[in-house]
Chain A
Amino acid sequence: GAGVSQSPSNKVTEKGKDVELRCDPISGHTALYWYRQSLGQGLEFLIYFQGNSAPDKSGLPSDRFSAERTGGSVSTLTIQRTQQEDSAVYLCASSGGLAGAGTGELFFGEGSRLTVL
């Protein structure tokens, strides 16, 4: 597709269950970001992938959160043993980067809304 695709768009789960959120970035974009947007709050940085470099995981709130990016394209954010405070919209974005023709602009998906009961 032309834009960043995220699935599922909505996920309701029970406390303690594991969830996986998927992001399909724009083809050719080397950078991929995950953010979390809680109700009434800003965007909280979670993790950043750039090409084959080691990801910047400095924003992950706990060891229950992990993410991987396979083949430099699709990424999966996994939350283990979900808690109610994990309820939020999880946003994925991709970018062509700042080198060469890249502009540094992030292109966002529409997000995955997670509700933990």
Chain B
Amino acid sequence: AQSVTQLDSQVPVFEEAPVELRCNYSSSVSVYLFWYVQYPNQGLQLLLKYLSGSTLVKGINGFEAEFNKSQTSFHLRKPSVHISDTAEYFCAAMDTGRRALTFGSGTRLQVQP
């Protein structure tokens, strides 16, 4: 079964600084990868996804992620964060043959002024 690891439970960062949220998944022949965001008191929403093609994926709100098959990673990045980016970020993976989506434990991004 697929497993997803988010090593950082919390990431504090100052406004306008760059940020990287790390995600590693267990090796699989074929996998789809996702980042979801959960703003305070809101439901989860999709930030970006990798299904195939270019390994650099751009999402909403200026976020991007890079699929690295050799390192089984899908790290999320943003060059300059805003206070409004404060939220919980979840990485998720789906084995193409199984369809059930496995989530990591989440990373709380805290943007400070």
Chain A positions near chain B (C-beta within 8 angstroms): 31, 33, 35, 41-45, 48, 50, 56, 58-59, 91, 93, 97-98, 103-106, 108-111
Contacts and interface: CB of A to CB of B under 8 A. Distances in A.
A93 B43 CA distance: 10
Given A108-B45, A109-B43, A42 B101 contact: no
Contacts of A56: 98-100
B109 interface: no
B44 interface: yes
Interface residues of B, number: 24
Contacts of B51: 98, 103-104
A42 B100 contact: no
B21 interface: no
A45 B90 CA distance: 13
15 contacts: A33-B100, A41-B105, A42-B90, A42-B103, A42-B104, A43-B44, A43-B90, A48-B100, A50-B99, A56-B98, A59-B100, A104-B32, A104-B94, A105-B34, A106-B46
